[in-house]
Structure 1
Amino acid sequence: MTKSDQLPMQATQVELVIEARWVVPVDANNTLHEFYSVVIDQQLIVDVLPTEQARVKYTAAELLVADEHVLMPGLINAHTHAAMTLMRGIADDQPLMDWLNSHIWPAERAIVTERYVEDASLLACAEMLSGGTTCFNDMYFYPQATALAANKAGMRAHLGLTVLEFPTNYAADADDYLQKGFEAHDSWRGNALISSALAPHAPYTISNQTFEKVLIYAEQLGLGIHTHLHETRDEIVQGETAHGVRPIQRIAALGLLGPGFIAAHGVHLLPHEIDMLAEYGCHIAHCPASNLKLGSGIAPVQALLKNNVNVCIGTDGAASNNRLDMFSEMRLAALLCKGVSEDAAVLPAHQALKMVTINAAKAIGLDHKIGSIEVGKQADLVAVKLSDFAISPCYDPVSHLVYSCGREHVTHTWVAGELRYSNGTYANIEPVELKEIIQIWQPKLRQYKH
């Protein structure tokens, strides 16, 4: 043995080590680690190993001991409208089309500006970060304003470049929406936390000609497509009346279906339409609370999963939910699927957890970066405290995350290795600013309540 062989191993210096009671990496084997550490440096996960080994192998500039917590990947809200957060509760107990035509769209025409979107999106970011959501897939006007809010909060955002046929405060016609969207897309090209998709609103608001343009631009720019689809029976009847076929058949004929296509809702799907989604590798953003609240129905999640369609979960906007709470959404999705199928084994906890993490990351094309705790991925992480008496005892941490925990049990949220929320305190958001935002906009929106 040489002299150098006798020297103790020198510990590697890293930025952060999180010592957790449990780590749920979210992998194909449904692994659960106990007394494990996640090692983070330069925004990335550089190691996942037993804590005893981590203490020998690494020296951290910052050490967080989370000995009553489970560490999990950051939650991903697969479909929302962040800037509708200030419209929370203004038109409750209305069916979708009445809700849109008589309340939401009039309010948007009167209120929505770039400043409104930035303010409302910041409020949404605060709500999501405190509940463990690290990334959201958005669709709304003025996406550059949403990007500004997400940047300020330190969140990851996949922003839809919204397209409609009719004029709004934001744009005059479909071509104007597209042009403004491309300008927004270009503005955040160098931003590692912001990405884009083309977001034609829905088949009932988009012409064939515009859908064709969307497809061309999506292929040229390498962007996904995010749209509402088969949310209500009325939408389908309207589509059949106008075009002679159901909406999904129409957009399939136009060539939009593919592995970059996210259909929000997918409530009313026939068996052959589910087969079509599977064949083309499409994704469904399931929004159970919004679908129930608007009386739209219950998506056929069991059939979608059985046919290997990638299903993720979104909250929809706070105006139709009325929360941006992925814990409650995950629990509701699992329970609904069991109740509708009359099979308690359907959608087990591990699978529900995948729907709000790696499945959503796959849908937005970021599964190589986020969605699981793996070496080389971005450190988007959430610590959830499992020792509160109200949710004790804990026998299975993954089951606990889905069926027992709420967003109130989130203690820490990291995005790209940076702590963005900790025990009621935000890194970049001042509560007084959120209070001022509410005070400014609530009086303006109050008249659209009924």
Structure 2
Amino acid sequence: MNPELQIISAQWIVPVIPRNTVLEHHSVVIENGKIIDLLPIKHAKAKYSGAPHIERSTHALIPGLVNSHTHAAMSLFRGLADDIPLMTWLNSHIWPAESKWVNHEFMRDGTELAIAEMLLSGTTCFNDMYFFPDIVAKTAQDLGIRAFVSMIVLDFPSVWANKPEEYFTNGLMVHDEVRSLSRINTTMAPHAPYTVSDSPLEQVRTYADELHVPIHMHVHETEQEVLDSVAQAGIRPMERLHQLGLLNPRMMAVHMTQLTEEEILLTAEQGIHVVHCPQSNLKLASGHCPVSELLGAGTNVCLGTDSAASNNDLDMLSEMQTACLIAKTNSEDASVLPAWQALEMATINGAIALNCQNEIGSIEIGKSADLVALDLNHFSTQPVYNPIAQIVYSASRQQVTDVWVEGKYRVKSGSLVSVNTDQVLSKAAQWGERINDSQSRMST
């Protein structure tokens, strides 16, 4: 028997494709990290007799979750500045903290903390926008998770670069470096319309086309952002981006809380992808993304957590539930955004936005074995009438027992396999003490 062959069986398998499908008492057969078969358990045992067999008899097996918008290392700023409007949060708290604290050590330790949290809650791929993407890439590769790291672009100096030309130079170096890392890819990541001027944005479009990478950008996050653009440029940010040729199928527009009917139609017509971050938008009072209208228009909508500094967690299971509840309330229609569609947003839709849908996002033959097992034999998820509904509306991340990336355990029986948990927690606590002590001295 091939030593690289293994079988994972579960009471329910939710493949995502075909949509809204549940397979009972089925097995996923994996060879060399790829799914080679999906069939009933009894048939798997007969066809692949002798292969190692992992049985999860009270579990649901789903594709690994795709967190389509993060600032991973900002986990070390979790709780630093809560209950504050976005621009005050950025200008008075986050940007000054970044200027003081963000360095190689901060990035490594913060990214490790974020990856540990994400893996334990079923995320197997994240799309990051932050400084020192080379460190994010190496850390993600070492810890066994998939990541898209950012070639970030800003008009103003930061710890990563001083001017747009330097941002591009540094980002392109990272793009070349990560080619040797099997689970890492890049995106062009202009921060936002209000922090990047026209000339760099035109360069972003050119590089994205040449390198065949997504464009990852905050767009229409708040009403004030839109009002400021109209006052300064005479047009809304979406129209400006359209004039610059950036509204195309490479664009991943994050937040999108302020959209007119015309802009919703434009989003669908141009094939851009919307990244919905419901909990961060709620906490910062940024507004509500019109998810049901976007989906109705045919737009691909995926899910992200944003940073743990504004959320304050990286829990995609919780994000799915919140997305459903907001959509239903905003539309005053309980049938809007059913559970199965939220699961699509957290899996295959994110993969589509990142152009890796042929590799991840669903449990299909030929795709990577990025899988998550959730134990539904729990007080909060019994009885089980509809496993997908239980996962989205009732399950918590504490019910994630096992996570595989490329068929390899990353979480086994609730414990991280490739992460030194004690070390990560110790470093996080040390950073908290250093930052808190500094904040206390500044306030006295």
Q: Is the shorter-chain TM-score for this pair beyond 0.5, marking a shared fold?
A: yes
The CA deviation at 1:190 is 2.3
State the alpha-carbon separation in 1 of the partners of residues 160 and 426 from structure 2.
Answer: 24
**Deviation string for 1:42-69 (max 9, x for gaps)?**
0100100000000011145532110000
Q: Which runs of 5+ in 2 are unaligned?
A: none
The answer as to whether partners of 2:141 and 2:181 remain within 8 angstroms in 1 is no
State the alpha-carbon separation in 1 of the partners of residues 90 and 242 from structure 2.
Answer: 26
State the alpha-carbon separation in 2 of the partners of residues 51 and 62 from structure 1.
Answer: 13
Do the aligned partners of residues 448 and 223 (structure 1) sit closer, same or farther apart at CA in structure 2, a change above 3 Å counting?
Answer: farther
Match of 2:88 in 1: 98
Alignment of 1:43-58 (within 5 A): 43-58=33-48
State the alpha-carbon separation in 2 of the partners of residues 138 and 80 from structure 1.
Answer: 5
**Deviation string for 1:4-27 (max 9, x for gaps)?**
xxxxxxx77652100110100001
State the alpha-carbon separation in 2 of the partners of residues 322 and 108 from structure 1.
Answer: 17
**1:213 and 2:203 correspond:** yes
State the alpha-carbon separation in 2 of the partners of residues 71 and 435 from structure 1.
Answer: 29
Do the aligned partners of residues 52 and 146 (structure 1) sit closer, same or farther apart at CA in structure 2, a change above 3 Å counting?
Answer: same
Match of 2:215 in 1: 225
**Deviation string for 1:376-403 (max 9, x for gaps)?**
0000000000001232111110111110
**Deviation string for 1:205-226 (max 9, x for gaps)?**
0000000111111111111101
Match of 1:35 in 2: 25
Do the aligned partners of residues 122 and 13 (structure 1) sit closer, same or farther apart at CA in structure 2, a change above 3 Å counting?
Answer: closer
Do the aligned partners of residues 307 and 75 (structure 1) sit closer, same or farther apart at CA in structure 2, a change above 3 Å counting?
Answer: same
The CA deviation at 1:448 is 4.5
Match of 1:397 in 2: 387
Match of 2:420 in 1: 430
**1:444 and 2:395 correspond:** no
Alignment of 1:132-171 (within 5 A): 132-171=122-161
Alignment of 1:27-426 (within 5 A): 27-59=17-49, 61-426=51-416
State the alpha-carbon separation in 1 of the partners of residues 49 and 120 from structure 2.
Answer: 29
Do the aligned partners of residues 60 and 356 (structure 1) sit closer, same or farther apart at CA in structure 2, a change above 3 Å counting?
Answer: farther
State the alpha-carbon separation in 1 of the partners of residues 81 and 331 from structure 2.
Answer: 32
State the alpha-carbon separation in 2 of the partners of residues 167 and 216 from structure 1.
Answer: 22
Q: Which amino acid aligns with 2:370?
A: D
State the alpha-carbon separation in 1 of the partners of residues 226 and 123 from structure 2.
Answer: 32
2:5 to 12, 15, 30: 15
Q: Which runs of 5+ in 1 are unaligned?
A: 1-10
- Across the aligned residues of Structure 1 and Structure 2, the Cα RMSD in angstroms comes to 1.3
State the alpha-carbon separation in 1 of the partners of residues 396 and 304 from structure 2.
Answer: 16
State the alpha-carbon separation in 2 of the partners of residues 118 and 301 from structure 1.
Answer: 34
SS in 2 for 1:264: strand
SS in 2 for 1:319: coil
Aligned residue pairs total 440
State the alpha-carbon separation in 2 of the partners of residues 190 and 237 from structure 1.
Answer: 44
The answer as to whether partners of 1:265 and 1:284 remain within 8 angstroms in 2 is yes
Do the aligned partners of residues 62 and 448 (structure 1) sit closer, same or farther apart at CA in structure 2, a change above 3 Å counting?
Answer: farther
SS in 2 for 1:330: helix
**Deviation string for 1:179-230 (max 9, x for gaps)?**
1111111111022200111000000000000001111111111111010000
SS in 2 for 1:335: helix
State the alpha-carbon separation in 1 of the partners of residues 375 and 37 from structure 2.
Answer: 22
After the TM superposition, which of the residue ranges 55-64 and 143-152 deviates more from structure 2? Answer: 55-64
State the alpha-carbon separation in 2 of the partners of residues 136 and 53 from structure 1.
Answer: 35
SS in 1 for 2:52: strand
SS in 1 for 2:320: helix
The answer as to whether partners of 1:358 and 1:371 remain within 8 angstroms in 2 is yes
Q: Which amino acid aligns with 2:279?
A: A
State the alpha-carbon separation in 2 of the partners of residues 391 and 30 from structure 1.
Answer: 19
The CA deviation at 1:29 is 4.1
The answer as to whether partners of 2:19 and 2:340 remain within 8 angstroms in 1 is no
Q: Which amino acid aligns with 2:150?
A: G
State the alpha-carbon separation in 2 of the partners of residues 188 and 62 from structure 1.
Answer: 33
**Deviation string for 1:225-251 (max 9, x for gaps)?**
010000001111111122110001001
Q: Which amino acid aligns with 2:280?
A: S
Q: Which amino acid aligns with 1:276?
A: L
The CA deviation at 1:152 is 2.0
